[in-house]
Amino acid sequence: MGSGLFEQFRRWYEERHEYARAWKARTGGMVAATMCTYTPEEVLIAAGMLPVRVLGAHEPQNVAEPHLFGMFCPFCRDTLAQGLLGRYDYCDGVTLTQSCIQYRQSFHSWREHVPSAWNYYLPMPNEVQSRHARLLHYSEVKKFRRFIEGVIAKPISDAALNGAIAVINENRRLLRQLYDYRKETNPRVTGVEALYASITAQFVDKEEHNRELQRVLDELPGLVNDRAAGVRCITIGAENDDIAFMAMVESLGATIVIDDQCSGTRYFWNEARVQEDPIATIADRYCERPACPTKDYPLHTRFDHVLKLCRDYGASAGFFLQQKFCDPHEGDYPDLKKHLDANGIPTLLLEFDITNALGPFRTRIEAFLETLGEEELF
């Protein structure tokens, strides 16, 4: 059911490097490697660039070890390895907006050892709840605009920024519409299909991605709604584009109906509030988006946001997909688990590495789902 409808997204995901190279050859534009979803893509798109989020390859590697501690998170090590191995050699530049300290080290190692014409570190404030945060981030996005203008050797107009804001807002709006189908009793959109759509938005030309999303949304109402959801689950954590894992979970009598991850909802959830000054529009949006743990203090706004996602999408259980050694998410885990437990949402913690052996995961997930089924009998 439905899988053929998402075939283009699947191809984009599996052939992402080929896509970016073809885009560059076709348009003559620059490609910018982005290393966090806090990157203000609007500035890059307004400059005529293609933002491409750096992803790992989920394969063993030994090239990152001289540059990063082995106890840094697997995603940091895997993404750096992709740069060191030349997988992103088509990128003209690389940029990171401040997130966690481990990924900051990945970025510094990348710009030291992976050839590119330019690099830029954008020091976004972590305490976005501070009354000073938006003003500070406004100044940093403004500096980023000036830097990119230097890269392309011409000004980036407000009109170009407003156009980029509009096309990205449309992408966010269409993804939200797609995700609404996951609220159904028998969801017409599975977790795997939704992941293909959300992750490809992070490296495919937005206008092209919007056209494909609209095509899928036009056809979805005609699909027979015949897939039993089973146990409705949420996934919680950092980045996750492990398609094999997601497919395995959904083969065991469950459906992943929603997520709180930067590979999914945290990337696109809120549109930018359009203001007269496009830089204010952009800067405020990234301060207002659903927070990652690195920016969710002193108040934990994220906890009630995750609970609301569970309620809105009917998720009755959750999986914490924990990148091994991920300090921000590990710090959040005990209290967020307690918050979900107190509201009747049982969870299972799974620790991810660069390559995930699905066998042990399968056994634990089967046992977890079986336990949930037994509880429903009493």
- The SS3 call for residue 348 is strand
Q: List, as one string, the DSSP characters of 116-179.
A: -SEEEEE---S-TTSTTHHHHHHHHHHHHHHHHHHHHTS---HHHHHHHHHHHHHHHHHHHHHH
For residue 250, the domain's CATH number is 3.40.50.11900
Tell me, yes or no, whether 14 lies in a domain: no
- The SS3 call for residue 69 is coil
| Domain with 330 in it | 27-157+229-378
Residue 67 pLDDT > 50: yes
Residue 22 pLDDT > 70: yes
**Residue 375 confidence (pLDDT):** 58
**Residue 377 confidence (pLDDT):** 39
Residue 373 pLDDT class (50, 70, 90 cuts)? confident
Which pLDDT tens digit goes with each residue over 154-213? Answer: 999 999 999 999 999 999 999 999 999 999 999 999 999 999 999 999 999 999 999 999
Tell me, yes or no, whether 208 lies in a domain: no
62: exposed, middle or buried (Cβ count in 10 Å: 0-12, 13-18, 19+): exposed
> What CA–CA distance (Å, rounded) separates 242 from 6?
17
Tell me, yes or no, whether 4 lies in a domain: no
Residue 1 pLDDT > 90: no
Tell me, yes or no, whether 120 lies in a domain: yes
What is the pLDDT averaged over residues 112-118? 96
**Residue 356 confidence (pLDDT):** 80
Tell me, yes or no, whether 189 lies in a domain: no
Tell me, yes or no, whether 169 lies in a domain: no
- Picking from 154, 329, 119, the residue whose alpha carbon sits closest to that of residue 240 is 329
> What CA–CA distance (Å, rounded) separates 237 from 260?
6
**Residue 256 confidence (pLDDT):** 97
Tell me, yes or no, whether 210 lies in a domain: no
Tokens of 65: 């070890």
Task: Give the predicted TM-score (pTM) of the model.
Answer: 0.96
The 3-state secondary structure of 209-259 reads HHHHHHHHHHHHHHCCCCCCCCEEEEEEECCCCCHHHHHHHHCCCEEEEEE
Residue 253 pLDDT > 60: yes
> What CA–CA distance (Å, rounded) separates 300 from 36?
21
Answer whether 256's CB lies under 8 Å from 191's CB. Answer: yes
- Picking from 43, 282, 22, 20, the residue whose alpha carbon sits closest to that of residue 144 is 43
- Picking from 129, 57, 64, 63, the residue whose alpha carbon sits closest to that of residue 102 is 64
Which pLDDT tens digit goes with each residue over 320-329? Answer: 999 999 999 9
> What CA–CA distance (Å, rounded) separates 299 from 328?
15
The tally of domains found in the chain comes to 1
Which pLDDT tens digit goes with each residue over 77-92? Answer: 999 999 999 999 999 9
**Residue 354 confidence (pLDDT):** 81
Residue 273 pLDDT > 70: yes
As a whole number, the mean pLDDT across the chain is: 95
Which pLDDT tens digit goes with each residue over 126-149? Answer: 999 999 999 999 999 999 999 999
Answer whether 38's CB lies under 8 Å from 101's CB. Answer: no
**Residue 154 confidence (pLDDT):** 98
Residue 378 pLDDT > 50: no
φ, ψ dihedrals at 210, nearest 5°:
-65, -40
Tell me, yes or no, whether 190 lies in a domain: no
